Amino acid sequence: MVLKPQCIALSGGVGGAKLALGLSLELAADRLAVIVNTGDDFDHLGLRVCPDLDTLMYTLSGKSNQELGWGQAGETWSFLSALADLGGEDWFKLGDRDLATHVFRTQLLDGGATLTEVTQALLTALTVETTVLPMTDDRVATQIHCQSGETLAFQHYFVRDQCAPPISGVSFAGIDGARRSSRFSALLEGSEASSVIICPSNPFVSVAPILDLQDTWRRLCEQSGPVVAVSPIVAGMALKGPAAKMMRELDMPSTALAVAEFYQRVYPGLLNGFVIDHADRASADAVRQLGLEVLVTATVMKDVHDKQSLARDVLGFVADLTAS
C-alpha cells in the first residue's frame, strides 16, 4: 500500500513556496506533497522556464535569493549582459546559475523525460526530499486578457510589462487537453485521509490553473481531510505579485474576504476553512458567514521561523477541522 501524504499543498511561486518550506519543516518528507502551478511556464530563448517550480526547488533547498525574492542566492549576470550586447531578449532576468536549471531541464525534456521526471532529477540533485510535483506534464499557458483587448502570455504581462496593463480576465491555454501528472492523480486516489492546503498564492493565476485541471477541484472536495486556503491578501495588499491589483481590475475589493468569496463562488464546496492575518480579523465573521471555519493568525512570513510558525498554525487548524 502506498502511504498517502498527510498533506497536499497547492502552490504558485514565492508566497506558496514560503509556506511549503514551513510545512516541510513540520512534516516528514513522505507526508507532504506540493503540487505546483505550471501555467507560468514558458519557452524563452529556446529554454523551458518553469518559474514556480524553480521557486519551490530553490526555496526548499535553501538556495533562494532572499534579497531579490526570486532566483538563486549568489547569482551572477554575465550571460544576460552578453546576451544584451548581442541584441538578444534580456527582459526576463535569467541569472547564470539559474540558467543551468533551464538548460538541464530543456535537455532532459528534449530527450523525452516528463516534467515530473525532470523536476525529480533536479530535486534529487538539490537534495530536496519533499515531494514537489508539477500539476501536469502537458503544456498549459496562462493568458492575461487586458482591458485594452490585448492578450499577453503570462511572463510578458508579469515580468516584461511589470503587471502594468489593467486586466479583464485570465484563461489557461491548453487546459482542456491537459491531464494531471500521473503522480498527482495517484495522490488523489486511495482511501487514506489527506488534507489540502492552498498556499497564499494568487487565486487567479497560481491556484486556479491547478483547480481547473480536469476534475481536480472536485477530486479535492472528495478528500476525506479538510481543505483550507491561506489568504494571499493581507490588509488589502498582496505581499507579492499582482493579486490585489488584479482583484480591483476584476471589480472585486482587494480584501481577504473577497478571496474567500472568490473560492466559494467559483469552487463551491471546496473549502472548509480559511486562514487570514491578524490585520484582517475584523473580516473573520464575514468569512464565517460564507460557511467557512476561520483561523486568524500571523500570515506574513519574513523569516524561516514565521514560515514554520504559520505551517504549524495551519496544520493545527486542519487537525481541528478533521476532529470536528
Contact residue for a second copy among 106, 114, 171, 223 (CB under 8 A): 106
Which x/- pattern over 113-152 shows residues binding a second copy (rule: CB under 8 A)?
--------xx--xx--------------------------
Nearer to a second copy, 72 or 181 (CB): 72
CA distance 255 to 166: 18
**What's the distance, CA 65 to chain centroid?**
18
Minimum CB separation of residue 195 from a second copy in Å reads: 33
Nearer to a second copy, 125 or 282 (CB): 125
Give CB contacts under 8 A, 24+ apart, made by 92-101: 92/44, 92/49, 92/155, 92/159, 92/160, 93/159, 94/44, 94/45, 94/49, 95/71, 97/71, 97/72, 98/54, 98/71, 98/72, 99/47, 101/54, 101/57
Residue that is written with C-alpha cell 506540493 in the block = 34
Minimum CB separation of residue 167 from a second copy in Å reads: 29
Minimum CB separation of residue 173 from a second copy in Å reads: 21
Which x/- pattern over 217-256 shows residues binding a second copy (rule: CB under 8 A)?
----------------------------------------
Minimum CB separation of residue 139 from a second copy in Å reads: 17
What is the DSSP track for 245-280?
A: HHHHHTTS-SSHHHHHHHHHHHSTT--SEEEEEGGG
Contact residue for a second copy among 46, 112, 149, 177 (CB under 8 A): 46
> Which DSSP letter does residue 136 get?
B
CA distance 258 to 270: 16
Alpha helices in the chain (DSSP H): 14-26, 51-60, 78-85, 96-110, 115-125, 154-155, 182-187, 208-211, 216-221, 243-249, 256-266, 284-288, 304-323
Nearer to a second copy, 54 or 137 (CB): 54
Establish if 50 lies at the interface with a second copy (CB under 8 A): no
Nearer to a second copy, 57 or 133 (CB): 57
By CB under 8 A, which span of 20-28, 94-102, 153-161, 178-186 interacts with a second copy? Answer: 94-102
CA distance 139 to 238: 27
Q: How many residues bind a second copy (CB under 8 A)?
A: 32
Residue that is written with C-alpha cell 549582459 in the block = 81
Cell (9 digits) for 71: 532566483
Write out the binding residues for a second copy, residues 64-83 only, by CB under 8 A: 72, 75-76, 78-83
Establish if 162 lies at the interface with a second copy (CB under 8 A): no
Nearer to a second copy, 113 or 186 (CB): 113
List C-alpha distances in Å: 140 to 30, 136, 247. 28, 8, 22
Contact residue for a second copy among 25, 47, 153, 159 (CB under 8 A): 47
Q: Which residues bind a second copy (CB under 8 A)?
A: 45-47, 72, 75-76, 78-83, 85-88, 95-101, 103-104, 106-107, 110, 121-122, 125-126
